[in-house]
Amino acid sequence: MCRHLAYIGPEVPLGRLLIEPEHSIVRQAWEPRRQRHGTVNADGFGVGWYAEGDPVPARYRRPGPIWGDLNFADLVRVVRSSAALAAVRDATLFTADGEAAAAPFAAGPWLFSHNGAVRDWPRAVAGLAAALPAEELLSLTATTDSALIWALVLHRLRRGDDLGTALAEPVRELSGAAPGSRLNLLLTDGAGIAATAWGDSLWYLVDAPGRRTVVASEPYDDDPRWCEVPDRTLLTADRTRVDLTPLKETFQ
């Protein structure tokens, strides 16, 4: 159910992250190695990145498979960034939302992705949706479970929660309302990364402290420094450190 990746570090061409590695996210679209649900991620893709001096990220999203987009390779060959989030999508349910349903979702300085599925969607989470302000529900760009999760996360970000809390609390609420949901979430503001491992794979790679941090559904190469995140865990990271917090303990 999707693959995603977030990066913060030295400025690099996006292609170095997304295409060049042997098991890049592009290859993961048709040949993921550690995906626990689904086999092909061909229902849309996207990448968001930050330009120096501009806190609001740019995005490029499309509704079809990443390997069918003739412009993507040229784009990521020339665009350089020190922070990015990319995703390839395997839709839980087919909708007419097109690229609006493809991650990353964005608002202000934030980029967001969801790898997973909300069980018994949408009935199980109707109460959570109803608790959001009407204007936030009306501003949803897609009718998917991921779009609603993004609305829950964004609501907390706008009221001042840090990246980790903005992910952890919606996971707690969603897992209570819809047990058995898969809730691997990924969020960045260009300076930090937060992610949850909840029902699917999550890994991270840290270069020398202060250099490069990558958080991804699965490793894009065979570098032995990749570390797997245990299930039911919140990850928060910046360029100098990665912290792991067991979510099952937080929520008891």
Task: Tell me which residues are annotated as active site.
Answer: 2
Bridge partners of 108, per DSSP, are none
- One-letter amino acid at 241 equals R
Please classify residue 172 by burial: count the beta carbons closer than 10 Å to its beta carbon, then call 0-12 exposed, 13-18 middle and 19+ buried: middle
> How big is the chain by its Cα radius of gyration, in Å?
17
How far is Cα 58 from Cα 73, in angstroms, rounded to an integer?
17
How far is Cα 78 from Cα 122, in angstroms, rounded to an integer?
40
Residue 98 has phi, psi (to 5 degrees) of: 60, -140
- One-letter amino acid at 182 equals R
Residue with tokens 């590695």: 21
Task: Compute the half-sphere exposure of residue 178: CA atoms within 13 Å on the CB side of its CA.
Answer: 24
Name every residue whose Cβ is closer than 8 Å to that of residue 241 and which is 6 or more positions away in sequence. 209
